[in-house]
Amino acid sequence: MALNKDKVREIFRDFSRSLRHRSQLKSPKEVHDLRTGSRRVEALVHAVMLDERRVGRQSLKAVRLIRRKSGKVRDMDVLADYVSGLEGGGEGDGEDECVVQLIGYLGKERLKAARKLRGSIMEHRKAARDRLKRCSSLLLHSSEEEDLERQWQSNPMVVAVQLFVEVSDWPRLTRANMHSYRLKVKELYYILQMVEGSNAKLVGRLGEVKDAIGEWHDWSELQVIAAQVLDHAPGCKVLQHIRTTVSAKLHRALLLTNEVRRECLGGEDRP
């Protein structure tokens, strides 16, 4: 399970591009690319165990500060897209107003989060790019040090095996631990993407799991926000639609995750 150096270059290059001055983070794609890029960088640094070195720890600190701010913006983009697909009652009972109210709230929250994200990028961009450049140099130009080269190549396999065991032997999946499980699956997914000889079917199935759990989590967050923001009768069709969708997404995520655990991870459904 050797590290794919072309993939390493791509990970560092794409994240660095996301931090360029020209990006105003106005489009959901820009924010998505930034957040995904930060996650991939974090997975890479952890996979090769660079986080055991000072330069790796410093890189992660700068990247995480940006990633956390980008997460809020990304959440508002995703939730606004979900809400825009909802339909009110159309009968003058205030359902359409609920949709408009939710979209307005999410838009305002997005503006505030985007300002904070841009400020974080301006503050930490140089440190992040400089430190990641040093990490990239270590990983891609260490061939003259054979012991170090072997370490970079073997570490991802060690970390991947550890994560594989964790996701295979995870306790019974519940609402309380599903999101934590997804984070482990996502890290394993990113690591397998950056090494040679990975099982393409396994990578694809892990991607399905992370997306399914992610959709459930996003709708759950929307349910919380809607309950706080909307001042409407208990029979509100918008709230009912959101609650129904949350249940459906949870059911699908549980079925799919347990299926993948049985078929690809060697795990079993927990009682």
Give the three-class secondary structure for 247.
helix
C-alpha to C-alpha distance for 92 and 114, rounded to whole angstroms? 34
- How far is residue 242's CA from residue 26's CA, in Å, rounded to a whole number? 27
DSSP-assigned states of every residue in 166-232: HHHS-----TTTHHHHHHHHHHHHHHHHTBTT--HHHHHHHHHHHHHHHHHHHHHHHHHHHHHH---
Note the pLDDT of residue 134: 87
Tens digits of residue pLDDT in 74-88:
999 999 999 998 865
Q: Which CATH superfamily hosts domain 5-264?
A: CHAD domain (1.40.20.10)
pLDDT (tens digit, 9 = 90+) per residue, 42-77? 999 888 888 888 888 998 998 999 999 999 999 999
Return d(Cα 142, Cα 270) in angstroms, integer. Answer: 45
Mean pLDDT of all residues belonging to the chain: 86
Mean per-residue pLDDT, 17-40: 82
Bin 172: left if φ > 0, else alpha if -120 < ψ < 50, else beta.
beta
Domains in the chain: boundaries: 5-264
| φ and ψ at residue 195, rounded to 5 degrees | -120, 155
Name the one residue in this structure whose structure tokens are 């841009």: 118
Please tell me the predicted confidence (pLDDT) of residue 152: 61
pLDDT at 27: 86
- DSSP codes, 76-119: HHHHHHHHHT----SSSSSHHHHHHHHHHHHHHHHHHHHHHHHH
Which helix H or strand E contains 42, and what residues bound it?
A: helix 28-47
Tens digits of per-residue pLDDT, 211-228?
A: 999 999 999 999 999 999
**Which residues, in sequence order, are bridge partners of residue 195?**
3
89: pLDDT confidence band, cut at 50, 70 and 90? very low
Q: If you write DSSP's letter for every residue of 110-175 in order, what string do you get? A: HHHHHHHHHHHHHHHHHHHHHHHHHHHHHHHS-TTSHHHHHHHHHHHHHHHHHHHHHHHS-----T
